[in-house]
A = this chain, B = another copy of it.
Amino acid sequence: MSVLVVGSIALDSIKTPTADHRELLGGSATYGAVAASFFSPVNLVAIVGEDFPKAHIEYFQARKIDLTGLQIVPGKTFRWAGEYHEDMNTRTTLSTDLNVFEHFTPKLPPAYAGAEIVLLGNIGPDLQNHVLDQMKRPRFVIADTMNLWINIAKPELLRLLPRVDMLVLNDEEARQLTGEKNLITAGRKLRELGPKYIALKKGEHGCLLFGENEFFTCGAFPLESIFDPTGAGDTFVGALAGYLAANCTEGEITFQHLRRAVVHGSVLASFNVEDFSLERLRKVTPEELDGRYDHFRAMTAFHA
């Protein structure tokens, strides 16, 4: 089963305390699609300008990502520039040039409309809603979001939530959207807004997964050095979606499927932060991924 991934493609310029990189491949759809492609076929819907490097297109193709839904239009590709501070946890956006992304309307090729697993990557909730408007009956819809949309597009986001099966967001966003300090209460209140499941990301502290009378707490893979956290959240949710597409081909998607999907998401994201842009993801082998999953499993087990 394939995953439909909709989101942004960007050229990112990223400064950290130790490095400065320009025009790296980035964007929520990029990380999400590449991450999902470790597990399942991917159909991509996104937009780039005519300046988008051919090498990146070829990389997507090499990952067997279907590009029928990729719009290549006159103009420049979306650019984002940001700077990470000393602790690598906080960042400042230096510039955002939407370029062709400003007028992006996600349009599903006919072959995509029957997609079963849908990842609405981090883009405006109006666009996320527009994608769902074009779909038949997806089996499982995952939506990512961020503080920006909670600030400037909350009504559209609230309209989206009852339409998705799982919302993915981080701890600060969960607090912002619910007004609740306590993350367990925030998770419960987010479910009341519509999604059946909430995946609440806590960075170095791992992730909480909320379902109806079901709860899963998952640590983060221990890392001493984080070179570039950009795209970690998109990688997490992309791997999560890809895992479901590969492992839930029949029957219901259960909470147990989701637990394992979350762990696979955490594990792939832990590779992503080890190098800039998608440099580490480009090199991860299936054996490395399985190895770290097994390692993580051994690290978290306590009962024979």
Contacts and interface: CB of A to CB of B under 8 A. Distances in A.
A181 B224 CA distance: 10
Contacts of A86: 181
Contact of A303 (B202, B217, B262, B297): B297
Given A182-B204, A182-B226, A256-B302, 20 more contacts: A86-B181, A182-B223, A182-B225, A183-B204, A184-B222, A185-B224, A188-B224, A205-B206, A206-B219, A208-B219, A208-B222, A215-B299, A216-B300, A217-B220, A218-B300, A219-B219, A259-B302, A262-B302, A297-B302, A301-B303
Interface of A: 86-87, 181-185, 188, 202, 204-206, 208, 215-220, 222-226, 256, 259-260, 262-263, 297, 299-304
A299 B223 contact: no
Contacts of A226: 182
Given A260-B303, A263-B302, A302-B260, A206 B217 contact: yes
B217 A302 contact: no
Nearest to A302: B259
25 contacts: A87-B181, A182-B224, A182-B226, A183-B204, A206-B219, A208-B219, A208-B222, A215-B299, A216-B302, A217-B219, A217-B220, A217-B222, A217-B299, A217-B300, A218-B219, A218-B300, A256-B302, A259-B301, A259-B302, A260-B302, A260-B303, A262-B302, A263-B302, A297-B302, A300-B300
Nearest to A220: B217
A186 to B, nearest CB: 10
Contacts of A218: 219, 300, 302
Q: Which 6 A-B pairs have the closest CB atoms?
A: A217-B219, A259-B302, A205-B205, A184-B222, A185-B224, A184-B224
A216 B296 CA distance: 9
Contacts of A220: 217
